[in-house]
Amino acid sequence: MTASLEKPIPIPTEADRPYWDALREHRVVLSRCVACGWLSQRRKMMCLQCHSEEFDWAEISGRGTIYSFTAVHQTWVTAFKDHVPYVLVSVAIEEQPSLILVTNLLGEYDFEELEIGQPVVADFEPCGSEVLLQFRLQGADDVQS
Protein backbone atom coordinates (compact mmCIF):
# COMPACT_ATOMS: atom_id res chain seq x y z
CA MET A 1 0.00 0.00 0.00
CA THR A 2 1.36 3.41 -0.89
CA ALA A 3 0.89 6.24 1.52
CA SER A 4 -1.21 9.12 0.29
CA LEU A 5 0.40 12.53 0.24
CA GLU A 6 -2.95 14.22 0.22
CA LYS A 7 -4.54 15.01 3.56
CA PRO A 8 -7.56 12.85 4.26
CA ILE A 9 -10.77 14.84 4.60
CA PRO A 10 -14.31 13.91 5.61
CA ILE A 11 -16.21 12.48 2.65
CA PRO A 12 -19.05 14.81 1.66
CA THR A 13 -22.44 13.17 1.18
CA GLU A 14 -25.41 14.46 -0.78
CA ALA A 15 -27.12 15.19 2.55
CA ASP A 16 -24.45 17.66 3.66
CA ARG A 17 -23.50 19.05 0.25
CA PRO A 18 -24.79 22.57 1.21
CA TYR A 19 -22.19 22.67 4.04
CA TRP A 20 -19.36 21.98 1.58
CA ASP A 21 -20.71 24.29 -1.12
CA ALA A 22 -20.90 27.16 1.37
CA LEU A 23 -17.28 26.63 2.45
CA ARG A 24 -16.21 27.11 -1.17
CA GLU A 25 -17.87 30.53 -0.98
CA HIS A 26 -16.13 31.21 2.35
CA ARG A 27 -19.39 31.00 4.27
CA VAL A 28 -20.25 28.65 7.12
CA VAL A 29 -23.67 27.03 7.12
CA LEU A 30 -24.78 24.46 9.67
CA SER A 31 -27.65 22.03 9.76
CA ARG A 32 -30.50 23.56 11.81
CA CYS A 33 -33.50 21.80 13.30
CA VAL A 34 -36.63 23.49 11.96
CA ALA A 35 -38.56 22.74 15.16
CA CYS A 36 -36.13 23.96 17.85
CA GLY A 37 -33.23 25.66 16.06
CA TRP A 38 -30.53 23.25 17.29
CA LEU A 39 -27.40 23.43 15.13
CA SER A 40 -25.08 20.60 14.11
CA GLN A 41 -22.09 20.47 11.81
CA ARG A 42 -23.32 17.55 9.74
CA ARG A 43 -26.85 16.55 8.87
CA LYS A 44 -28.30 14.16 11.46
CA MET A 45 -31.08 11.62 11.06
CA MET A 46 -32.88 13.19 14.00
CA CYS A 47 -32.48 16.29 16.17
CA LEU A 48 -30.69 15.32 19.37
CA GLN A 49 -32.67 17.97 21.30
CA CYS A 50 -36.29 17.48 20.20
CA HIS A 51 -36.25 14.40 17.92
CA SER A 52 -37.62 16.32 14.95
CA GLU A 53 -36.51 14.99 11.57
CA GLU A 54 -36.86 18.27 9.70
CA PHE A 55 -33.77 20.38 9.03
CA ASP A 56 -32.70 23.35 6.99
CA TRP A 57 -29.35 25.17 6.65
CA ALA A 58 -28.44 28.30 8.60
CA GLU A 59 -25.52 30.60 7.93
CA ILE A 60 -23.56 31.47 11.07
CA SER A 61 -21.19 34.34 11.79
CA GLY A 62 -18.06 32.18 11.85
CA ARG A 63 -17.13 33.66 15.22
CA GLY A 64 -16.38 31.58 18.29
CA THR A 65 -14.05 31.14 21.22
CA ILE A 66 -11.36 28.61 22.02
CA TYR A 67 -12.81 25.82 24.16
CA SER A 68 -9.56 23.85 24.27
CA PHE A 69 -6.43 23.36 22.19
CA THR A 70 -3.42 21.12 21.80
CA ALA A 71 -0.25 21.02 19.72
CA VAL A 72 0.44 18.00 17.54
CA HIS A 73 4.15 17.22 17.34
CA GLN A 74 4.09 13.67 16.01
CA THR A 75 2.14 12.07 13.21
CA TRP A 76 1.94 8.63 11.68
CA VAL A 77 0.01 9.94 8.69
CA THR A 78 2.35 10.66 5.79
CA ALA A 79 0.21 13.49 4.49
CA PHE A 80 0.70 15.44 7.75
CA LYS A 81 4.44 14.78 8.01
CA ASP A 82 5.45 18.20 6.70
CA HIS A 83 2.86 20.02 8.79
CA VAL A 84 3.96 19.18 12.35
CA PRO A 85 3.92 20.84 14.71
CA TYR A 86 0.40 22.18 14.23
CA VAL A 87 -2.33 23.21 16.61
CA LEU A 88 -5.74 21.58 16.94
CA VAL A 89 -8.39 23.78 18.45
CA SER A 90 -11.89 23.06 19.76
CA VAL A 91 -14.12 26.04 19.08
CA ALA A 92 -17.39 26.92 20.82
CA ILE A 93 -19.39 28.76 18.17
CA GLU A 94 -21.02 32.07 19.02
CA GLU A 95 -24.57 31.06 18.04
CA GLN A 96 -24.54 27.82 20.07
CA PRO A 97 -21.55 27.46 22.42
CA SER A 98 -22.52 23.85 23.21
CA LEU A 99 -21.57 23.01 19.62
CA ILE A 100 -17.83 22.41 19.57
CA LEU A 101 -16.06 22.29 16.21
CA VAL A 102 -12.56 20.78 16.02
CA THR A 103 -10.23 22.25 13.41
CA ASN A 104 -6.67 23.36 12.86
CA LEU A 105 -5.72 26.81 14.10
CA LEU A 106 -4.28 28.65 11.12
CA GLY A 107 -2.25 31.85 11.01
CA GLU A 108 0.65 33.31 12.93
CA TYR A 109 0.63 33.05 16.72
CA ASP A 110 2.72 32.00 19.66
CA PHE A 111 1.46 28.69 21.08
CA GLU A 112 2.54 29.74 24.58
CA GLU A 113 0.18 32.71 24.40
CA LEU A 114 -2.96 30.82 23.38
CA GLU A 115 -5.72 30.87 25.98
CA ILE A 116 -9.06 29.22 26.49
CA GLY A 117 -11.79 31.73 25.72
CA GLN A 118 -9.77 33.63 23.09
CA PRO A 119 -11.94 34.80 20.16
CA VAL A 120 -11.44 33.06 16.82
CA VAL A 121 -12.98 33.44 13.37
CA ALA A 122 -13.63 30.94 10.60
CA ASP A 123 -10.97 30.52 7.97
CA PHE A 124 -11.06 28.45 4.81
CA GLU A 125 -8.40 26.07 3.55
CA PRO A 126 -8.54 24.49 0.08
CA CYS A 127 -7.84 20.75 0.36
CA GLY A 128 -8.08 18.55 -2.72
CA SER A 129 -11.42 19.19 -4.39
CA GLU A 130 -13.01 20.63 -1.23
CA VAL A 131 -12.51 23.57 1.11
CA LEU A 132 -12.08 22.83 4.82
CA LEU A 133 -13.44 24.88 7.68
CA GLN A 134 -10.58 26.01 9.91
CA PHE A 135 -10.24 28.78 12.48
CA ARG A 136 -7.68 31.49 13.18
CA LEU A 137 -7.32 34.01 16.01
CA GLN A 138 -9.58 37.01 15.66
CA GLY A 139 -7.55 40.02 14.61
CA ALA A 140 -8.22 43.74 14.83
CA ASP A 141 -9.52 43.62 11.22
CA ASP A 142 -12.26 41.17 12.20
CA VAL A 143 -13.97 43.33 14.81
CA GLN A 144 -17.17 44.68 13.32
CA SER A 145 -18.43 48.02 14.47
Please tell me whether residue 33 binds Zn ion under the rule CB under 5 A: yes
Single out the residue of 15, 46, 50, 71 in contact with Zn ion (rule: CB under 5 A). 50
Q: Which is nearer to Zn ion, 36 or 88 (CB)?
A: 36
Please tell me whether residue 35 binds Zn ion under the rule CB under 5 A: yes
Single out the residue of 49, 96, 118, 138 in contact with Zn ion (rule: CB under 5 A). 49
Please tell me whether residue 135 binds Zn ion under the rule CB under 5 A: no
Please tell me whether residue 47 binds Zn ion under the rule CB under 5 A: yes
Please tell me whether residue 77 binds Zn ion under the rule CB under 5 A: no
Please tell me whether residue 124 binds Zn ion under the rule CB under 5 A: no
Between CA 45 and CA 33 the distance in angstroms is 11
Backbone angles phi, psi at 74, to 5 degrees: -130, 140
